[in-house]
């Protein structure tokens, strides 16, 4: 007072609060065996599952996120003194600024939802790995998926051997062709052995002809196996990965709904319970759909495998 200087108090904007909540939603979950701080043992399978959970993150390469209403000149500041107004004037936001803030808000919501989903899935995954949570298991489908992965590994071995056989056969045909030409040349330049060299030359030509037929058959076999392994089986396994990710989300939101159902029932909890029920139902429908897709693709794959 008496100096003519006003005191300005910054007020956190809504975007800052959402940022704090989003950051809190993606915090790591320490798991301790006896309630004390500790480190998790290294687990390659766990790292692969965590990478699978993180792979569904949003793509924000187009523009950066801008928190609307924060960082502007005088925006978000409330004068507490009773003196003069700030000397600078504020410029009203134009249509372009509103559009930019709308896009930034949408992307922030995407990041926030993805962070919450990743947090829940990671928590569920760790609970399953340490035997503290339950998981939904379709025994028949799980057995078929494991059989598919084992079959794919065996077919990949057959494919590698078939490619090696193709290379060896091709080299053998080249050698036989050169040997036949050499015998034919010797039959013309050695009259005393013309009949023997001519017979050997014809034999090598016949071997080359039959070898080319065999090489064509092996090439067709290798091509069919390659299509089966790298396209048909791989496409089915991609659907299996989507199914497994949907199963993890389904169990995560099922656990979340069960925890809310066991809590106290008041006005705020009732609204959260209804929202959790709707989200759980959406993930359940997604899980059921992908389970049906996997079953159909496994059936078609078995038919294609028999044909090949």
Distance CA 132, CA 128 (A): 6
Give the tens place of pLDDT for each residue, 229-284.
999 999 999 999 999 999 989 888 888 888 888 877 777 777 788 888 888 899 99
Give the tens place of pLDDT for each residue, 139-152.
999 999 999 999 99
Residue 249 belongs to some domain of the structure: yes
Radius of gyration of the chain (CA): 35
Phi, psi of 38 (to 5 degrees): -165, 175
Residue 74 belongs to some domain of the structure: no
Question: What is the number of domains present in the chain?
Answer: 1
Judge whether 6 and 81 are in contact, CB under 8 Å.
yes
Residue 154 belongs to some domain of the structure: yes
Give the residue-averaged pLDDT of 194-198: 89
Please report, for the domain that includes residue 204, its CATH number. Answer: 1.20.1270.60
Residue 78 belongs to some domain of the structure: no
Judge whether 25 and 116 are in contact, CB under 8 Å.
yes
**Considering only CA atoms, which of 165, 147, 289, 148 is closest in space to residue 218?**
165
Q: Which tokens sit at 307? A: 């044909």
Residue 300 belongs to some domain of the structure: yes
Residue 221 belongs to some domain of the structure: yes
Domain extent for 187:
117-306
Residue 75 belongs to some domain of the structure: no
Distance CA 174, CA 186 (A): 19
Residue 100 belongs to some domain of the structure: no
Give the tens place of pLDDT for each residue, 47-101.
565 565 555 555 544 433 333 333 444 444 333 344 444 444 455 555 667 777 7
């Amino acid at each position: 007072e008496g100096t003519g200087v006003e005191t300005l108090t910054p007020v956190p904007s809504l975007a800052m609060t959402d940022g704090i909540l989003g950051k809190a939603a993606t915090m790591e979950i320490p798991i301790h065996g006896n309630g004390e701080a500790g480190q998790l043992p290294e687990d390659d399978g766990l790292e692969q599952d965590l990478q699978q959970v993180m792979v569904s993150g949003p793509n924000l390469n187009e523009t950066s996120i801008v928190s609307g209403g924060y960082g502007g000149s005088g925006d978000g500041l409330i004068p507490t003194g009773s003196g003069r107004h700030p000397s600078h004037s504020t410029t009203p936001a134009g249509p372009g600024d509103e559009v930019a803030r709308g896009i930034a808000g949408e992307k922030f919501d995407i990041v926030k939802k993805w962070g919450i989903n990743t947090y829940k899935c990671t928590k569920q995954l760790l609970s399953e790995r340490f035997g503290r949570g339950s998981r939904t298991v379709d025994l028949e489908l799980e057995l078929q998926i494991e059989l598919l992965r084992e079959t794919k590994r065996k077919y990949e071995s057959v494919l590698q051997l078939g490619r090696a056989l193709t290379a060896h056969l091709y080299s053998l045909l080249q050698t036989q062709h050169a040997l036949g030409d050499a015998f034919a040349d010797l039959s013309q330049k050695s009259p005393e052995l013309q009949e023997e060299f001519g017979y050997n030359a014809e034999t090598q030509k016949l071997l080359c002809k039959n070898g080319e037929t065999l090489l064509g058959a092996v090439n067709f076999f290798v091509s069919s196996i390659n299509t089966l392994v790298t396209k048909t089986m791989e496409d089915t396994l991609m659907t299996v990965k989507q199914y497994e990710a949907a199963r993890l989300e389904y169990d995560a939101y099922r656990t979340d709904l069960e925890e809310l159902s066991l809590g106290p029932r008041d006005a705020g909890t009732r609204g959260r319970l209804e929202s959790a029920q709707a989200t759980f139902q959406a993930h359940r429908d997604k899980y059921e759909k992908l389970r049906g897709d996997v079953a159909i693709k496994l059936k078609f794959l078995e038919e294609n495998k028999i044909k090949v």
